[in-house]
C-alpha cells in the first residue's frame, strides 16, 4: 500500500505548490453583469496606468463574466470594459502596493447598448457534425432522434459505429473501441456497459465525440479509437431545471423519466439529476451448430436451437454535486454519481440434436433459463481547477473512488426427450451464483501552458488502481435429487491492476500549418490470483504511445490532415477471469488469464472541402489481436464454448466520405459512406488461416423544418456485412423517423420517434472453427414507437462549466 500513499503525497505537494503560487501573485479581479445581474460573457477588459492612460494589459472575460489580472506591478490603475452589445464602462482609480496586493471590484454592472441590439439579432445553432483536428463531434442535442432512445440505440445511429452481439463497439470496421462518458472510461464489462447505456436516456446526451486517432492526452486504451459520450451540463444562473418523460412500446412496454435541477450563485453551484428507465424487452434467436469429427469435410451431427429472451430492465441513476468558486480563477468541486438496477431474464430454449446425413432426431431438450441480475454503482469525486489567466494556462486535479457491485442468480432447468419424443426421466438443473465486486482509485493531474497564441504545451499524470473479485459458485442436480457443488466450473478469482501514465503534448501553428505531437508513457502492473486452482500470474511492463497530427490549409475551401497514433487494447478484467458462465446447458463462455494486450499502429489522412465535405483514408495494423474463438468441451462433445484468445494479426484499409448538405432552407441532411476491408491472419495448429472481407456502410440523417414550430427527421443506416476474426456477419440495416412540436412558448417539446420501421435490424452470422460451425440469427426488439415530453424551466442562458471526473476510463474493462 505504500506506493498508493506515495502517489497521493506527490499529488498533494504539487497541488499545494500551485495553490501557494496562485495566492502570492498580485490580483485585480471582478465580475461583469448586466442590468438583470446576468453575466456578460467575453467582454474586453483593459488595464490602464492612471498617469498617462496607457494600456498595461488586455484580457477577455470568461463565459461567466469573470476576469482577473495576475502578476501586475505596483502602481495606480483603472479598468476599461468594452463589449459590442453593451455600453463602455470605466472604473474608478485604485492602487496596488506592498500592503495592498489585490483589488476586488466585485460585481460591475454595465448597461445594454439598445441602439445596437435594435439592429442585430444573433441566432446560432450548432451543426450536427463538427470536424476537429483529433476528433469528429456529433451534436446530438440538436436532433429529434435524441429523445425517446436509449444511449445504446443512439450510438448505433452514429456514422461509423457498430455494435457486436457480444456488446463490444467497432469504429469503421475495427473492433476494440473504448467508451467514455464525459471524457473518462467506464470500467465495466461489455454486458454491464450495455446495461448502463440502455438505462441512459438519449435526452441526457448533448454530443458524441468520435476519436479514431486520439492524441497523447487521452488514455492509450482502445485500438480502434475512443467514443466519448458527453452528458448535458446546461447549468444556468439561479434556479432552473428540466423535466422529461417518455412512454411507448416495442414488443412490450417502455417507460422513462428524468429530472434535472440546478441552483447557481456567484460563489456556489449546486446541481442534481435523477432518471429512471423501465423496459420490457423481447428477443428471438436461432442457432444451428454443426459438429465435425476429426478432419471430416461433412458434419456428423447438428443441433437446432431456438430461444426467446424476455428481459426486464429496471434502472435508476442519479448525479449530485457542488462547485465552490474560491476566486474568479479557482474552483473546487465535489460529485457523487450512482446507479442501481435490475435486469431479470426469462429464457425458454429448445434444442434438437440430429444426424446430419439422415436428419433423424437423436434427442431433444427444453430448457428454462432464469437470471436475476442486479447492480449498484457509486462514484465519489473531488476536483480542483486553477486558471492562471484567460489565455488557457490552467491546472486541473481529479481524485476518484468507484465502487461497483453486481450479482447474477442463474437457474437452468432442462428436460430431455428421446428420438421418439418420449420424456427421459433424468432432469438436469444448474444453479449459478455469479457475483462481481470492484473498487477503483484514480488520481489525475492535467496542466496546460500556452507559450503564446500559436504554441501550447499540455502535460499530465494519471495513476489508477483497480481491484476486482469474482467468487462464482455452481451447483448441479444429481439423480438422487440432491444438489452438489460443481467444482469443475466454480471459481474464486481476484485481479489487481495498477497503471501509472504520464504524457506530453505540444501544439504549434504557423499561418496555414498546424502540428501536434505527443507521447504517452504507461507503466502497467497486474496480478491475478485464481484461488480455486491456486494459480497466480503477474505482468509488469512499460510502453510508450506516440501520436502526431499535421494540418495544412491549402486555401479557404481546401484543407488536408495527416495523423498517426499507437494504441493498446488491454484485456478486460472479465476476459482475464477464467471462470465459466453458461448461456444454456449446451454452451458457455469463459475467460483466459493468459491473454496479452493487443497493439495497433493507426494512420489516417483527411481532406476537407469547403469546411464541410470530409474525405478520409485510413490504415491500421494490429498485432496480438484479441478475439473470441469457439470449440467443443473436451468432456462433452455436444457442448460448445467461447473463449477470448490472442488469435494473430489484423489489417484494416478504409475510405470514407461525410457530407452535410442543405438542399433547401427547410431541408438539411448529413450523409456518410464508408468502404473498408478487414484482413486476418490466424495461426491454428500447423496452418495459417487467412480471413478477409469487404464492407460498405451507409448512413443518412435528414431534417425538415415544417410550419408552426413542427419539424421532422428521417434517417437510416445500412451495412453490407463484415468480417471479425472467425466470424462473418451478413448485411443489416434500419430506417427510423421522428416528428417534433415546440409548445408552451418553446419551453417544451413533444416528440414521437419510431425506430427500425421495417424491422430489418436482424443479425445473421457464421462462425467457423476446426470442430464446430455456428450459423445463427439474432432478432432484437428494435422496432419501437416512443412518445416523449420535455419541459425547461427557470434560470437564464448562462451556462456553467461542464463536469467530468478522472476515472470514467476504467469502467468499461470491469
Chain segment 794-811, per-residue pLDDT in tens: 754 444 444 555 554 544
More confident residue, 100 or 199: 100
Q: Return the minimum-mean-pLDDT range out of 51-60, 160-169, 286-295, 383-392.
A: 160-169
Spatial CB neighbours of 100, under 8 Å, sequence gap ≥ 6 = none
Residue 310 has what pLDDT? 95
Spatial CB neighbours of 616, under 8 Å, sequence gap ≥ 6 = 604, 605, 606, 607, 654, 655, 656, 657, 658
Q: How far apart are CA 78 and CA 95, in angstroms?
A: 9
Q: Return the minimum-mean-pLDDT range out of 27-31, 521-525, 603-607, 805-809.
A: 805-809
Residue 6 has what pLDDT? 46
Q: Return the minimum-mean-pLDDT range out of 155-169, 608-622, 742-756, 790-804.
A: 790-804
CB atoms near residue 368 (< 10 Å): 14
C-alpha cell at 678: 478487414
Say whether pLDDT at 742 is over 50.
Answer: yes
Say whether pLDDT at 599 is over 70.
Answer: yes
Q: Return the minimum-mean-pLDDT range out of 6-10, 35-39, 382-386, 793-797.
A: 6-10
Residue 9 has what pLDDT? 43
Q: Is 6 exposed, middle or buried (0-12, 13-18, 19+ CB in 10 A)?
A: exposed
C-alpha cell at 157: 445511429
What are the phi and psi torsion angles at 813 (to 5°)?
-115, -5
What are the phi and psi torsion angles at 490 (to 5°)?
-80, 150
Say whether pLDDT at 198 is over 70.
Answer: no
- CATH architecture of the domain covering 2-119: Sandwich (2.60)
Interval 373-395 mean pLDDT: 91
- What whole-number percentage of the chain has pLDDT above 90? 40
Q: How far apart are CA 689 and CA 645, in angstroms?
A: 15
The band of 34, judged by pLDDT with boundaries at 50, 70 and 90, is confident
Q: How far apart are CA 51 and CA 374, in angstroms?
A: 71
518-564 confidence digits (pLDDT tens): 999 999 999 989 888 788 889 999 999 999 999 999 988 899 999 99
Q: Return the minimum-mean-pLDDT range out of 78-87, 225-234, 269-278, 737-746.
A: 225-234
With H, G, I as helix, E, B as strand and everything else as coil, classify residue 166: coil
Would you kindly state where each structural domain of the chain is located, as residue ranges?
2-119, 238-794
H and E: helices and strands count for the chain: 5, 45
Q: How far apart are CA 254 and CA 243, in angstroms?
A: 18
Residue 580 has what pLDDT? 79
More confident residue, 370 or 6: 370
Superfamily of domain 238-794: TonB-dependent receptor, beta-barrel domain (2.40.170.20)
Interval 617-626 mean pLDDT: 93
Give whichever of 221-235, 566-580, 675-689, 723-737 has the largest mean pLDDT: 723-737
Looking up cell 441532411, which residue turns up? 669
Q: How far apart are CA 727 and CA 725, in angstroms?
A: 6
Give the gyration radius of the chain's Cα atoms: 29
What are the phi and psi torsion angles at 73 (to 5°)?
-70, 160
Residue 734 has what pLDDT? 92
Residue 793 has what pLDDT? 86
Looking up cell 428436460, which residue turns up? 415
CA 675, distance to chain mean position in Å, is 24
Interval 747-764 mean pLDDT: 92
Spatial CB neighbours of 317, under 8 Å, sequence gap ≥ 6 = 199, 200, 273, 274, 275, 276, 277, 338, 339
Interval 236-258 mean pLDDT: 86
Interval 361-368 mean pLDDT: 93
What is the rounded average pLDDT for all residues in the chain?
A: 84
CB atoms near residue 564 (< 10 Å): 15
The band of 390, judged by pLDDT with boundaries at 50, 70 and 90, is confident
Strands 330-355 and 44-49: unpaired
Spatial CB neighbours of 700, under 8 Å, sequence gap ≥ 6 = 669, 670, 671, 672, 715, 716, 717
371: left (phi > 0), else alpha (psi -120 to 50), else beta? Answer: beta
The strand order across the sheet containing 27-33 reads 66-70, 27-33, 102-109
The band of 651, judged by pLDDT with boundaries at 50, 70 and 90, is very high
Looking up cell 461525410, which residue turns up? 658
Q: How far apart are CA 148 and CA 247, in angstroms?
A: 8
Q: Are 218 and 226 in contact (CB under 8 A)?
A: yes
Residue 398 has what pLDDT? 93
Closest CA to 428 of 362, 476, 370: 476
Q: Is 534 exposed, middle or buried (0-12, 13-18, 19+ CB in 10 A)?
A: exposed
SS (H, E, C) 570-585: CCCHHHHCCCEEEEEC
Say whether pLDDT at 485 is over 60.
Answer: yes
Interval 685-693 mean pLDDT: 82
**Alpha helix stretches (DSSP H) within 735-783:** none
Q: Return the minimum-mean-pLDDT range out of 74-83, 273-282, 794-803.
A: 794-803
Q: Return the minimum-mean-pLDDT range out of 103-117, 186-200, 243-257, 331-345.
A: 186-200
326: left (phi > 0), else alpha (psi -120 to 50), else beta? Answer: alpha
Q: Is 572 exposed, middle or buried (0-12, 13-18, 19+ CB in 10 A)?
A: buried
Strands 27-33 and 102-109: parallel
Say whether pLDDT at 649 is over 80.
Answer: yes
Residue 577 has what pLDDT? 79
Q: Return the minimum-mean-pLDDT range out of 101-115, 187-201, 306-320, 697-711.
A: 187-201
Q: How far apart are CA 623 and CA 615, in angstroms?
A: 27
Say whether pLDDT at 368 is over 50.
Answer: yes
What are the phi and psi torsion angles at 111 (to 5°)?
-95, 150
The band of 167, judged by pLDDT with boundaries at 50, 70 and 90, is low
Strands 226-231 and 535-555: unpaired
2-119 shares its CATH topology with 238-794: no
CA 276, distance to chain mean position in Å, is 20
C-alpha cell at 781: 426488439
Q: How far apart are CA 699 and CA 660, in angstroms?
A: 12
Task: Give the H/E segment covering residue 96.
Answer: strand 94-96
CA distances, 799 to each of 87, 745, 776 (Å)? 23, 21, 49
- What whole-number percentage of the chain has pLDDT above 70? 88
Q: How far apart are CA 303 and CA 363, in angstroms?
A: 10
Q: How far apart are CA 770 and CA 762, in angstroms?
A: 27
C-alpha cell at 544: 510508450
Residue 2 has what pLDDT? 40
CA distances, 426 to each of 90, 354, 638, 639 (Å)? 92, 20, 17, 18
Strand partners, 503: 460, 520
With H, G, I as helix, E, B as strand and everything else as coil, classify residue 145: helix
Say whether pLDDT at 4 is over 60.
Answer: no
Closest CA to 742 of 147, 231, 322: 147
Strand partners, 602: 565, 620
Give whichever of 14-18, 117-121, 585-589 has the largest mean pLDDT: 585-589
Amino acid at each position: 500500500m505504500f506506493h498508493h500513499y506515495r502517489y497521493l503525497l506527490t499529488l498533494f505537494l504539487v497541488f499545494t505548490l500551485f495553490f501557494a503560487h496562485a495566492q502570492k501573485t498580485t490580483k485585480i479581479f471582478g465580475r461583469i453583469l448586466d442590468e438583470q445581474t446576468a453575466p456578460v460573457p467575453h467582454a474586453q477588459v483593459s488595464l490602464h496606468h492612471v498617469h498617462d492612460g496607457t494600456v498595461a494589459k488586455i484580457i477577455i472575460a470568461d463565459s461567466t463574466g469573470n476576469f482577473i489580472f495576475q502578476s501586475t506591478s505596483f502602481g495606480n490603475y483603472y479598468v476599461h470594459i468594452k463589449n459590442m452589445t453593451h455600453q463602455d464602462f470605466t472604473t474608478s482609480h485604485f492602487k496596488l502596493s506592498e500592503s495592498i496586493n489585490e483589488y476586488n471590484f466585485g460585481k460591475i454592472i454595465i448597461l445594454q447598448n439598445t441602439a445596437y441590439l435594435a439592429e442585430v439579432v444573433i441566432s446560432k445553432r450548432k451543426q450536427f457534425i463538427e470536424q476537429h483536428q483529433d476528433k469528429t463531434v456529433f451534436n446530438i442535442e440538436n436532433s429529434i432522434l435524441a429523445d425517446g432512445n436509449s444511449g445504446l440505440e443512439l450510438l448505433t445511429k452514429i456514422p461509423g459505429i457498430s455494435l457486436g452481439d457480444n456488446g463490444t463497439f467497432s469504429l469503421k470496421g475495427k473492433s476494440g473501441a473504448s467508451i467514455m462518458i464525459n471524457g473518462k472510461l467506464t470500467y465495466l464489462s461489455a454486458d454491464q456497459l450495455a446495461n448502463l447505456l440502455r438505462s441512459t436516456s438519449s435526452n441526457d446526451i448533448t454530443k458524441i465525440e468520435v476519436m479514431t486517432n486520439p492524441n497523447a492526452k487521452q488514455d492509450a486504451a482502445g485500438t480502434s479509437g475512443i467514443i466519448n459520450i458527453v452528458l448535458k451540463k446546461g447549468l444556468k444562473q439561479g434556479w432552473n431545471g428540466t423535466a422529461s418523460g417518455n412512454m411507448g412500446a416495442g414488443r412490450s412496454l417502455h417507460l422513462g423519466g428524468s429530472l434535472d435541477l440546478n441552483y447557481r450563485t456567484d460563489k456556489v453551484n449546486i446541481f442534481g439529476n435523477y432518471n429512471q428507465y423501465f423496459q420490457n424487452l423481447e428477443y428471438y434467436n436461432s442457432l444451428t451448430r454443426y459438429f465435425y469429427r476429426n478432419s471430416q469435410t461433412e458434419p456428423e451431427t447438428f443441433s437446432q436451437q431456438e430461444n426467446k429472451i424476455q428481459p426486464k430492465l429496471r434502472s435508476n441513476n442519479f448525479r449530485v454535486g457542488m462547485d465552490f468558486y474560491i476566486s474568479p480563477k479557482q474552483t473546487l468541486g465535489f460529485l457523487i454519481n450512482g446507479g442501481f438496477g435490475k435486469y431479470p431474464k426469462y429464457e425458454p430454449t429448445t434444442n434438437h440434436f440430429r444426424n446430419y446425413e439422415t436428419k433423424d432426431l437423436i434427442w431433444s431438450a427444453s430448457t428454462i433459463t432464469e437470471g436475476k441480475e442486479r447492480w449498484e454503482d457509486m462514484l465519489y469525486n473531488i476536483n480542483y481547477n486553477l486558471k492562471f489567466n484567460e489565455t488557457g494556462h490552467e491546472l486541473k486535479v481529479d481524485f476518484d473512488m468507484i465502487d461497483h457491485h453486481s450479482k447474477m442468480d442463474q437457474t437452468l432447468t432442462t428436460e430431455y426427450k428421446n428420438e421418439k419424443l418420449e420424456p427421459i426421466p433424468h432432469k438436469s438443473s444448474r444453479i449459478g451464483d455469479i457475483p462481481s465486486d470492484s473498487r477503483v482509485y484514480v488520481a489525475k493531474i492535467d496542466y496546460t501552458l500556452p507559450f503564446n497564441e500559436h504554441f501550447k504545451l499540455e502535460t499530465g499524470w494519471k495513476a489508477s488502481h483497480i481491484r476486482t473479485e469474482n467468487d462464482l459458485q455452481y451447483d448441479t442436480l444429481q439423480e438422487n435429487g440432491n444438489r452438489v457443488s460443481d467444482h469443475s466450473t466454480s471459481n474464486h478469482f481476484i485481479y489487481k491492476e495498477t497503471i501509472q501514465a504520464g504524457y506530453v503534448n505540444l501544439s504549434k501553428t504557423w499561418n496555414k500549418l498546424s502540428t501536434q505531437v505527443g507521447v504517452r508513457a504507461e507503466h502497467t502492473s497486474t496480478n491475478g490470483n485464481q484461488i480455486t486452482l491456486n494459480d497466480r500470474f503477474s505482468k509488469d511492463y512499460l510502453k510508450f504511445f506516440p501520436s502526431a497530427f499535421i494540418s495544412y490549409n491549402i486555401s479557404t475551401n481546401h484543407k488536408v490532415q495527416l495523423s498517426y497514433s499507437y494504441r493498446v487494447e488491454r484485456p478486460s478484467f472479465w476476459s482475464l477471469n477464467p471462470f465459466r458462465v453458461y448461456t444454456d446447458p449446451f454452451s458457455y463462455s469463459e475467460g483466459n488469464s493468459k491473454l496479452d494486450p493487443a497493439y495497433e499502429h493507426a494512420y489516417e489522412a483527411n481532406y476537407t472541402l469547403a469546411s464541410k465535405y470530409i474525405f478520409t483514408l485510413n490504415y491500421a495494423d494490429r498485432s496480438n489481436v484479441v478475439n473470441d474463438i469457439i470449440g467443443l468441451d473436451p468432456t462433452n462433445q455436444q457442448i460448445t464454448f467461447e473463449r477470448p484468445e490472442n488469435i494473430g494479426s489484423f489489417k484494416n484499409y478504409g475510405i470514407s466520405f461525410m457530407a452535410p448538405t442543405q438542399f433547401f432552407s427547410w431541408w438539411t441532411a448529413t450523409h456518410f459512406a464508408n468502404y473498408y476491408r478487414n484482413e486476418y491472419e490466424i495461426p491454428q495448429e500447423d496452418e495459417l488461416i487467412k480471413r478477409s472481407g469487404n464492407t460498405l456502410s451507409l448512413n443518412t440523417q435528414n431534417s425538415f423544418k415544417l410550419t408552426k414550430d413542427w419539424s421532422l427527421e428521417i434517417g437510416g443506416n445500412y451495412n453490407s456485412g463484415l468480417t471479425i476474426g472467425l466470424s462473418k456477419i451478413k448485411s443489416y440495416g434500419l430506417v427510423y423517423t421522428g416528428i417534433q412540436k415546440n409548445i408552451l412558448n418553446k419551453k417544451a417539446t413533444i416528440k414521437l420517434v419510431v425506430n427500425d420501421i421495417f424491422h430489418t435490424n436482424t443479425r445473421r452470422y457464421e462462425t467457423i472453427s476446426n470442430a464446430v460451425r455456428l450459423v445463427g440469427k439474432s432478432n432484437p426488439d428494435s422496432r419501437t414507437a416512443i412518445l416523449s415530453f420535455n419541459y425547461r424551466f427557470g434560470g437564464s442562458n448562462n451556462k456553467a462549466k461542464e463536469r467530468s471526473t478522472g476515472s470514467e476510463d476504467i469502467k468499461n474493462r470491469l
